[in-house]
Structure 1
Amino acid sequence: MSSDVVARWRATMEAVHEAAVRAGREPSGVRVVAVSKRHPVAAIAAVHAAGQVIFGENYVQEARAKMRALPASIEWHLVGHVQTNKVRQVVGSFALVHSVDSVHLAQALQERAQRQGVVQPVLMQVNLGRERQKSGVLEEDLPELAQTLMTAPNLAWRGLMLLPPVFDDPEAARPFFAALRDLRDRLEQQYGVRLPELSMGMTGDFAAAIAEGATLVRIGTRIFGERA
């Protein structure tokens, strides 16, 4: 099993590299978040030993159990929706929280980070597809959340995250990736902040996301296979 997952990881890294080159980008500017939710510790350990550094988890308790079992050299990202009752377990445990989607959550993270005396890096998740079943701030509510993130002394706002609508054709998601990049550029200009990270693109559409400026691509199934 470990040899299979490592072979898939290597093929994925080559595909990401090639997508960056095709887009005229420096491949080092695109990092892979290996999304390991509901996959076993042994598979994560094998991919990490092969050279993967960043792993993404959706569920806080599952992630923390894996953190205890795996090397401290792993950089853990939280890519799933965050419930405010889990904030205490989140702050200080994850190198980056991708999914801040409300003022309420941002305030809870700030309060906890201040209490712990740490600075927590975060991304704002934006719901550009306006899909009710998905998390993410709507554009009309974005200014209030942006102000909260900018003025929270214990949060480091690093950029934006997107889950676009699901399409059969990966190119159909590309306008959403372009829109997120344009939104980031406008926010930088409007607020005078630097937002270097764009977390967008998954197993089926990462090449289109890279072409539109993704700096973090969240790839799970292509590396680990289907979940049990």
Structure 2
Amino acid sequence: KMHPELAITWHFIGHLQSNKTRPVAEHFDWVQTVDRLKIAQRLSEQRPADMPPLNVLIEVHISDEESKSGCQPADVPALAQAITLLPNLKLRGIMAIPAPSDTEEGKKAPLKEMHAIFVHLRDELNFDIDTLSMGMSADMAEAVECGSTMVRVGSAIFGPRDYTKKE
């Protein structure tokens, strides 16, 4: 059992295959990358009864990158509605990992689009959401300026990733 002063909130970020949902449902507090209903259903079914609902964010495919996962922007409201009906999940908002850009406007365009989707869900469709997770080390200033409530800053803390092969 963890000491209360050392309580950690665990966030799962990454593409989640349906056959890997059980350990995530059992051990995490948040899943930031729910991109389809099947994953949400499995997480809800596999969440232990003695744990609070799992906080989830819908991952939005905001940039046209083949390598990125996510729900298409037009499909977000329907997925959000379906998630709110699952008993062991709590929809908290949306997240995205926009494509990198060398220009300020290139960085801001997808961030502004994400903010518009978030506001539409919250203010027009009346979803009870509070989290817009976007922005990483390279674009966190632009993300905060565009309304992000949560940034992911691994490289700013730990340095850039080393993709070279280790011998």
TM interval, shorter chain, is 0.7 to 0.9
Q: Contact 1:103–1:144 (CA<8 Å) still a contact in 2?
A: no
CA deviation profile, 1:176-222 (whole Å, cap 9, x unmatched): 11111111111123432221101100010000000011111001111
Q: Distance in 1 between matches of 2:151 and 2:8?
A: 17
Residues 153-192 of structure 1 correspond to what in structure 2 (within 5 A)?
153-192=87-126
1:73 matched to 2:4? The reply is no
1:84 matched to 2:31? The reply is no
Q: Distance in 2 between matches of 1:93 and 1:211?
A: 33
For residue 143 of structure 1, report the CA deviation from its aligned partner.
3.1
For residue 130 of structure 1, report the CA deviation from its aligned partner.
3.3
Partner in structure 1 of residue 128 of structure 2: 194
Q: Distance in 2 between matches of 1:100 and 1:170?
A: 28
**What amino acid sits opposite 2:15 in the alignment?**
H
Higher helix share: 1
Q: Contact 1:123–1:159 (CA<8 Å) still a contact in 2?
A: yes
Q: Distance in 2 between matches of 1:210 and 1:175?
A: 13
How high is the TM-score relative to the length of structure 2? 0.86
Pick closer, same or farther for the CA change 1:146–1:192 going to 2, 3 Å: same
SS at match of 2:115: helix
Instruction: Kindly indicate whether structure 1 or structure 2 has the higher relative contact order, using CA contacts under 8 Å at least 6 residues apart.
Output: 1
Q: Distance in 2 between matches of 1:211 and 1:155?
A: 29
Residues 102-121 of structure 1 correspond to what in structure 2 (within 5 A)?
102-113=36-47, 116-117=48-49, 118=51, 119-121=53-55
Q: Distance in 2 between matches of 1:226 and 1:134?
A: 20
Q: CA RMSD in A?
A: 1.8
Report how many aligned residue pairs link the two structures.
157
Q: Distance in 2 between matches of 1:170 and 1:226?
A: 21
Determine what percentage of the aligned residue pairs are the same residue.
36
Q: Distance in 2 between matches of 1:109 and 1:201?
A: 25
1:209 matched to 2:114? The reply is no
Select which of 154, 160, 163 maps to 1:226. 160
For residue 171 of structure 1, report the CA deviation from its aligned partner.
4.2
SS at match of 1:200: strand
For residue 149 of structure 1, report the CA deviation from its aligned partner.
0.8
Q: Distance in 1 between matches of 2:104 and 2:140?
A: 8
Q: Contact 1:171–1:208 (CA<8 Å) still a contact in 2?
A: no
| Runs of 4+, deviation exceeding 6 Å | none
**What amino acid sits opposite 1:83 in the alignment?**
Q
Partner in structure 1 of residue 71 of structure 2: 137
Q: Distance in 2 between matches of 1:96 and 1:77?
A: 5
Q: Contact 2:58–2:93 (CA<8 Å) still a contact in 1?
A: yes
Task: Could you tell me which runs of 5 or more consecutive residues in structure 2 were left unpaired when the two chains were aligned.
Answer: 163-167
SS at match of 2:93: strand
